[in-house]
Amino acid sequence: MAFLTLFIFTGCNAQKNVPIFSKVVYEGNDDVYNENPLEADEFYNPILQGTYPDPAIARKGDDYYLVASSFAMFPGVPIFHSKDLVNWTQIGHVLDRKSQLKVYDAGISGGVYAPDIRYNPHNDTFYMITTQFAGGFGNMVVKTKDPMEGWSDPIKLDFQGIDPAIFFDDDGKVYVVHNDAPNRGEELYEGHRVIKIWEYDVENDKVIEGTDKIIVNGGVDLSKKPIWIEAPHIYKKGGLYYLMCAEGGTGGWHSEVIFVSDKPMGPYEPAPSNPILTQRHFPKDRKNKVDWAGHADLVVGPDDKYYGVFLGIRPNDEDRVNTGRETFILPLDWSGKFPVFENGLVPMEPKLEMPEGVENKTGEGEYFPNGNFTYTEDFDSEKLDYRWIGLRGPREDFMEITKNGLKITPFDVNIKEVKPTSTLFHRQQHKDFSFTTTMDYKPKSEDDLAGITALQNEKFNYIFGITKKDKKYYVILERTEKGSSEIIASKEIEFNDELQLKVKAEGDLYKFSYALKEGDFQNLGGTVSGDILSTNVAGGFTGALIGLYATSANDALPKEK
């Protein structure tokens, strides 16, 4: 697994109000994987579980690079590498410096939207183009000769709209396409959007003024008032130019549609068979439901067959989405003029047949896991796995690896503020999971709290941790909904610095428990609803995050007796 190197601090935990986390165990146990074991030639879909939305993919030789949206997470734009489209290794993040990512005052669903990644063979350079709703960036591009070695600082691009994608034609010309609002005064209905194209000056990294042109107005059929045409990509095959877009909004009516032209600037005509991917037509109560499929990107696989990566969701039994938009993959049938996703217009299955000659090594060694798995982090290495992320600011600003584990120095900020927080997050990757950590900690006052948080955003979350009041120590569970907080339960405890904290979910039902050293786990607060950890209730574009949390601005106080 790819890692981030951190400073090793060898001292003991002299400041008892600074927590040391010595172990985390994340265990996923979804029924769909227990009921559908893999055969030798199969792999699981999604390929990236948890909040890895809006995937885009590029190929150079036999190397594939995949990126996903990260919004206000820090570092931003996770990037994965593969040789076969089955086994993926995270090699880091595209935006890993404050000069690239200025999301310090962004809500969790602000920040970086819909990255596109492409390789330009004419100058042997990779490009990642995206929209950053923070820091004054807007649409921007970064570049590198080698995605393994880091990326440039952003170059701001002078156009409006979102979801930019870049296309390198065979003749060396370059184009940028993106979603935008209709021309002033021409918007016909709510959700009416257009796709624009620009010629791009690759030497100076800017769109060429005056070359912009609307190539799709509204969607496939404007008379039907299609909404949210977005996420465009251009491909060239057989001398023709294909424009693929998402349509219908990134929810229950999401789909993928395609257009064709004999020129990159159009005009583009829609395929008669649109959509080419959607899950919107099937019964809501179908087993192992995958929904919201769309926002796709295509690549030629190692077997010379086309594949598409796209987002989808796996709702729980209450039809709520806690794991967020995940990255799926399907092969395409492009034997005719227009492509169609194989089995993308029928209810999706949890397993796929691997490309010929590929061995499934998912979860082995450096390869990212999927299906059911257990991930254990002892924080006893100089290097921290890339799956751990901060919110609005770098992890390095609040954490150190010590000989005793992970030290989090608390900020004077709590999880409900739109500021960088001293919280190290892991994505919720299963509907049924447990997350357990061991913590050495003694708060000094009621301003101090450390423990874990289960968070959908700053206004919808749970806090479960230890604080102090009137010389007594308390474990507390707080629920925040719509920005209003309530203490679900609190209990006075006597402990000698170390304890374990656990959150366990079975679908929509969450339980928080603690254990004193050498003791059994005790539940606090009974069974609580995971509704506030869902996109359905909390809104936004992310999935639930489980964090190791410390604050010196605690406002979650134990209940009065």
Q: Which residues are catalytic?
A: 54, 230
Residue 134 corresponds to which tokens in the numbers above? Answer: 């923070």
- CA–CA dist 143, 126 (Å, integer): 6
- CA–CA dist 19, 547 (Å, integer): 13
Exposed e or buried b per residue across 321-342, where buried means at least 16 C-beta atoms within 10 angstroms of its C-beta: bbbbbbbbbbbbebeeebbbbb
Strand partners, 462: 454, 479
Which of 350, 373, 329 lies closest to 286, judged by CA? 350
Positive or negative, the CA dihedral 344, 348, 350, 352 is negative
CA Rg value for the chain: 24
- CA–CA dist 376, 260 (Å, integer): 48
Which helix or strand (DSSP H or E) is residue 486 part of? strand 484-493
Positive or negative, the CA dihedral 96, 102, 108, 111 is negative
Q: How far is CA 216 from the centre of its chain?
A: 28
Task: Round to the nearest angstrom and report the end-to-end CA distance of the chain.
Answer: 49
- CA–CA dist 456, 516 (Å, integer): 28
Burial category of 353 from C-beta neighbours within 10 Å (exposed 0-12, middle 13-18, buried 19 and up): exposed
Which of 284, 288, 291 lies closest to 252, judged by CA? 291
Burial category of 133 from C-beta neighbours within 10 Å (exposed 0-12, middle 13-18, buried 19 and up): middle
Task: Tell me how crowded residue 281 is: count the other CB atoms within 10 A of its CB.
Answer: 10
Burial category of 512 from C-beta neighbours within 10 Å (exposed 0-12, middle 13-18, buried 19 and up): buried
Contact 71, 61 (CB under 8 A): no
